[in-house]
Amino acid sequence: MKSIICLFIGLCLLPWTAFAQIQAGKTVIVTATGIPAEEKGRIEGNYPVSDSGTVNMPFIGSVRAAGLRNEDLARSLQNRFISEGYYTNITIQVLSSLEDTNVNQQMVHVGGFVRRPGPVPFVRGLTLYQAIQAAGGETEFGTIRRVRVFRGNSQKEYDVSQTQFMKIPLEPSDTIDVPQKNWIGR
């Protein structure tokens, strides 16, 4: 009798287990603790889960998400940020959004010392300066003289206050980091 009851309960809970998994085409909401407050804007935000089942995170790139539970993705993100040396004591929380996302809309992510950090819709011809301005521009503590662009596994630094670097073309999934001013205000 106990085995029949256990089987019945297991079958009833099976749909809930599937529901708790992250699905392609949905959005996950990522929050972070254990890092300086000024660093949160680089990581926190809403991230679409692509058709291939991945989310594209700032600095660490593409991470498998579909089929995982929220806590499993959070643990995976924490481990990647720590193992790749970006943070030493980060704690990630992942929540699934009930909304579908348009995974066909491509994004660039602008973080650091900008007024509205997070994803910016990518359109053909989007430049580095335009993406920073779409994120509200640099804050009074930020500088556009040492902006880093992360693309895949590479990064480059640009002085966006110079005209030739304002026009740097971006690609979908680029991550832009506007750093804090240094001691001489640059």
pLDDT digits (tens, 9 = 90+) for 2-16: 555 544 554 454 444
Q: What is the pTM for the complete model shown?
A: 0.51
Quote the pLDDT of residue 182: 84
Quote the pLDDT of residue 157: 96
Q: Which of 30, 68, 71, 27 is nearest to 49 (CA)?
A: 27
Measuring CA to CA, how many Å separate 165 from each of 36, 42, 128? 29, 22, 8
Q: Angle at Cα 172 formed by Cα 21 and Cα 58, nearest 5°?
A: 60
**Complete DSSP assignment for 96-123:** EEEEE--TTS-EEEEEESBSS-EEEE--
Q: Which of 44, 18, 22 is nearest to 31 (CA)?
A: 44
Q: 59 falls in which pLDDT band (50, 70, 90)?
A: confident
Amino acid at 60: I
Kindly list the structural domains of the chain, giving each domain's residue range(s) and its CATH number in brackets, ordered by start. Answer: 21-100 (3.30.1950.10), 107-178 (3.10.560.10)
Rg (CA), the chain: 19
Q: Are strands 54-57 and 45-48 parallel, antiparallel or unpaired?
A: unpaired
